[in-house]
Amino acid sequence: MTGPTNLESRARHIRQTWAKRCNKVLYMSSVKTDFPTVDLNVSEGRDNLFWKTIRAFQYIHQHHLDDADWFLKADDDTYVVIENLHYTLSKYDPEQPLYLGRRFTPFISKGYMSGGAGYVLSKEALRRFIKGFNTGECTHFSSIEDMALGKCMETMKVEPADSRDVNGRQTFHPYPPDYYLVRQAPRPRPWYLLYDHYTPIEGPGCCSDLAVSFHYIYATQLYVLEYLTYHLRPYGYKYRFNPDEKD
């Protein structure tokens, strides 16, 4: 999800880094350009965020439903490791009504997925989301995009699935890695972990080796994460975490 003012400063770097690894990528905006961007016929701004999301999914449902099994919504300040997303999704069936992301607890009884960390809808979940708005079961009752989407998912009986790895470590992250990884003395939950559904862990146990996303990642940091994920490595090192066996 992007906008005209962010194409040069943000979307361009995403296009040069992780977006290349999507099977298909669409840049959602309010203006059509040769970037290329899609014109959703919605104004920019935080108040219109949910409208933009609704229109984006409607556009995809209309034009691209058969192009994919899973549909990821990410912001233009999110970094995503597509291979790890594939891996996380591999144990789920896209014909089942479910969606994945960083699960938050409040406001919605089944919780909802953090918008900033990015979330993925299965094909069936997307169909139900569209149906909900067609029948009026889902409405634009709030402009808080992630929470409102969560309400619609709950109404349409789409299940929030667990995106954590085999060791219970989080894969979707609504903040940059330094918020989580730095060792802390035991303390009450800091503000940015208050909404977490699964009990958050601070320090190295916070995050899966096969992390899927980080948020509030701008230009330089995008390339830094790209370098760390795909390039810089210790020669001849045996990774301690083997995802295909439980610890």
| Distance, CA of 234 to CA of 69 (rounded, Å) | 35
| Distance, CA of 196 to CA of 207 (rounded, Å) | 14
Binding mask 178-197 for another protein (x = CB under 8 A): x--xxx--------------
Number of residues that bind another protein (CB under 8 A): 42
- Minimum CB–partner distance for residue 221 and another protein (Å): 8
Q: Which of 187, 235, 245, 246 binds another protein (CB under 8 A)?
A: 235
Site for another protein in 192-231 (CB under 8 A): 204-205, 207, 209-211, 219-221, 223-231
Secondary structure in 3-state letters for 116-163: CCCEEEEHHHHHHHHHHHHHCCCCCCCCCHHHHHHHHHHHCCCEECCC
Token readout for 241 is 């975490």
- Minimum CB–partner distance for residue 47 and another protein (Å): 33
- Minimum CB–partner distance for residue 214 and another protein (Å): 10
Indicate the residue among 136 and 239 with the shorter CB distance to another protein: 239
Cα torsion 20, 204, 87, 118: sign: negative
Site for another protein in 162-181 (CB under 8 A): 177-178, 181
The 3-state DSSP class for residue 215 equals strand
Q: Which of 136, 186, 188, 234 binds another protein (CB under 8 A)?
A: 234
Number of alpha helices (DSSP H) and beta strands (DSSP E) in the chain: 7, 10
Q: What are the residues binding another protein (CB under 8 A)?
A: 16-17, 81-84, 86-87, 177-178, 181-183, 204-205, 207, 209-211, 219-221, 223-241, 243
